[in-house]
Amino acid sequence: MTALRARRAETPGHSRRRSSALDPAALRALPMAVGMFTVLPLPASRSAQDAAEPGLGGWALRWLPLVGALVGFLGWALSLVFWRGHDGGAAFLGAVVWVGVLALLTRGLHLDGLADVADGLGSRRPAAEALAIMRQSDIGPFGVAAAVGAVLLQIAAAATLLGGASRPQGLVLLVVAVVAGRLAALDAGRPAVPPARPGGFGAVVAGTASVAVRAVAIGATLVLGWLLLALTATSLVAALWLPFAVLVGLAAGRLVTWHVVRRLDGITGDVFGAVIEISTTVTLLALAAVVAWGGLL
């Protein structure tokens, strides 16, 4: 662990000072985060290489949940082409559209990260060799299984939710699930988690999410999500289930992070993608359980 701390101290971007709430990098990092994590064209967006500039990478990670909310909303809006609320229209097609839009808007970036991590960990090779496998451009059988499995589970869970929810409820549930995945990535950027190698996005943002930043982001999501769902849910149990589902998704993300650090001695950009996909999937499944166990919405 001493070696890991030393390596992190030498990593570019970890010598920067703590950013204040008025840090100019915060506003500069918002369009950069949208440009990095989505296909949405913004004139002021920056490239991933620019994230290495002191302060920008950490702020890009902090904006990630908000970017996720935007992506989730756009996916929900397009799902309305086939789904009209509850059993109106085709909930399954609406779910397929929603998941497809998420993948398209994010360029499949997070699914690719999940596939790479699955290939690396599935190889059962030492850390250095597993990291080399993760950097290869091709996808192996473990990666295919992980990515396809995540997509299928997300579609099934989203279809279950849409089949038992009104349009406002569907908006809240789907957007919160996407945000939960990004919150898990923010949690993976906590100071206790080192980067696995000195270069790449993982090295830039690892350790940049303080306890205060994570607490505010997670707390705001839990409270706001619960309040919005409580306005439309017919049962308080259903509304209370939302923050519980988010916490379950965050726990899944932390478990993935712990396992990766144990195997690879740190995290990479691919690991953030894997954490996002797994946490989003688990949150969706936890939310869908409410509908599957009695349609409490």
125 vs 9, which has greater pLDDT?
125
How do residues 219-241 score in pLDDT, each as one tens digit? 999 999 999 998 887 777 668 88
The pLDDT score that the predictor gives to residue 52 is: 53
Whether 17 has a pLDDT exceeding 70, the answer reads no
Q: How much is the pLDDT for 115?
A: 97
Give the pLDDT confidence of 82-126 residue by residue, as tens digits.
998 876 779 999 999 999 999 999 999 999 999 999 999 999 999
Mean pLDDT of 261-273: 95
Sign of the torsion formed by the C-alpha atoms of 75, 81, 87 and 91? negative
The predicted structure's pLDDT at residue 14: 44
Confidence at residue 53, expressed as pLDDT on a 0 to 100 scale: 62
Determine the average pLDDT of the residues in 130-154: 95
Model confidence at 59: pLDDT above 80: yes
Q: pTM for this structure?
A: 0.89
Residue 208 near residue 29 (C-beta atoms within 8 A): no
**Whether pLDDT at 47 is above 60:** no
243, 272 contact by CB (below 8 A): no
- In this predicted structure, the answer to whether residue 51 has a pLDDT above a threshold of 90 is no
Q: Which residue has the higher pLDDT, 76 or 199?
A: 76
